[in-house]
Amino acid sequence: MTRGEHWVRTLLGDAAVAAADGVPSVRVADGTLDGAAWRAVAVVPNPVARFPRARGGELGLDEGLALADAVRGAPPDAAILAIVDVPGQAFGRREEAAGLQLALAAAVNAYATERRAGRPIFALVVGKAISGAFLAHGLQAGWIGALRDPGVEVHVMPAASVARVTRATPDEVARVATIVPATARDIVTFARFGAIDALFDVHDPLAPSSAERAAIVRALVDARERGLGTRAPRERLATDAARRTRAPALDVRDRIARAWQS
């Protein structure tokens, strides 16, 4: 069982989990946390998926459209929890020709539209959160939490792909990450940029203790009660962490905005 499906079951229970209509690689679960309604969604591998590049848990055409349906079709009073463990989007000639970008955009639009309409949107990163897959499934959340674990990885490209493109060795890629934090892929470094609201320690991501589960549930319930699930992603730029680590980028954004308005 993958981390994504495992955490859907951990938080909402085995009985609640079902495959999205016609798309077994998207898991959907409806349940309650502290008496309030929640819908959790996750993308998991499907070794017999009709698009070969989407068989390892990647977010492809079927997955993007199924996510959109699952988010838009959630019970009216349910908050959405995106459980994130995605190794990237399903790059492939057939996938690209058939409109992969439109499927990913459908998922983004569903999350953003529901959030703007007042539905709380949350994300919990439990594994990989790579490239366009994370953009389509997770980054539109108003609140983002993550496991503090070496298996959690956030980046625009998998490490092996970065090494191939740059013609560097994996060791060289890792060394650069220690010098330029923006190139790092570990979750602790990513959190320093202000994108993560809470980090959770677990002794084993596939076997969390009852206390570890309870801590995550408390954080989700508290964030929902405080209205954090409906925040716009741009608000992450106003966090103390973002002001410290992204000052040059924020300055450039401010200058562009002022130049545009003049």
Under 8 Å between Cβ of 223 and 122: yes
Under 8 Å between Cβ of 220 and 33: yes
Residue 9 has pLDDT above 80, yes or no: yes
Structure confidence at residue 94 (pLDDT): 85
Structure confidence at residue 30 (pLDDT): 96
Give the start-to-end residue ranges of the domains of the chain.
3-231, 238-262
Under 8 Å between Cβ of 215 and 221: no
Question: Crossing angle, helix 3-12 and helix 210-225, to 10 degrees?
Answer: 80
Q: Which residues contact 50 (CB under 8 A, 6 or more apart)?
A: 62
**Which residue, among 52, 190, 19, 41, has the nearest Cα to 107 in the 3D structure?**
41
Q: Which residue has the tokens 């309604």?
A: 37
Structure confidence at residue 180 (pLDDT): 73
As a whole number, mean pLDDT of residues 210-229 equals: 98
Rg (the chain; Cα; Å): 18
Any idea which of 6-10, 230-234, 250-254 has the lowest mean pLDDT? 250-254
Question: pLDDT digit string (tens) for 12-55?
Answer: 998 788 888 889 999 999 999 999 999 999 999 999 999 999 99
Q: What is the pTM of this model?
A: 0.92
Identify the band that residue 185 occupies on the pLDDT scale cut at 50, 70 and 90.
confident
Residue 246 has pLDDT above 90, yes or no: no
Residue 234 has pLDDT above 80, yes or no: yes
> What tokens does 138 get?
């997770």
Question: pLDDT digit string (tens) for 105-158?
Answer: 999 999 999 999 999 999 999 999 999 999 999 999 999 999 999 999 998 776
More confident of the two residues 182 and 138? 138
Any idea which of 129-133, 163-167, 248-252 has the lowest mean pLDDT? 163-167
Identify the band that residue 262 occupies on the pLDDT scale cut at 50, 70 and 90.
confident
**Which residue, among 68, 83, 152, 154, has the nearest Cα to 123 in the 3D structure?**
83
Residue 174 has pLDDT above 80, yes or no: no
Q: Which residues contact 235 (CB under 8 A, 6 or more apart)?
A: none
Calculate the average pLDDT of the chain: 92
Residue 93 has pLDDT above 90, yes or no: no
Under 8 Å between Cβ of 105 and 63: no
Superfamily of domain 3-231 in CATH is: 2-enoyl-CoA Hydratase; Chain A, domain 1 (3.90.226.10)
As a whole number, mean pLDDT of residues 160-171 equals: 79
Structure confidence at residue 245 (pLDDT): 82
Under 8 Å between Cβ of 144 and 138: yes
Containing H/E element for 19?
Answer: strand 17-20
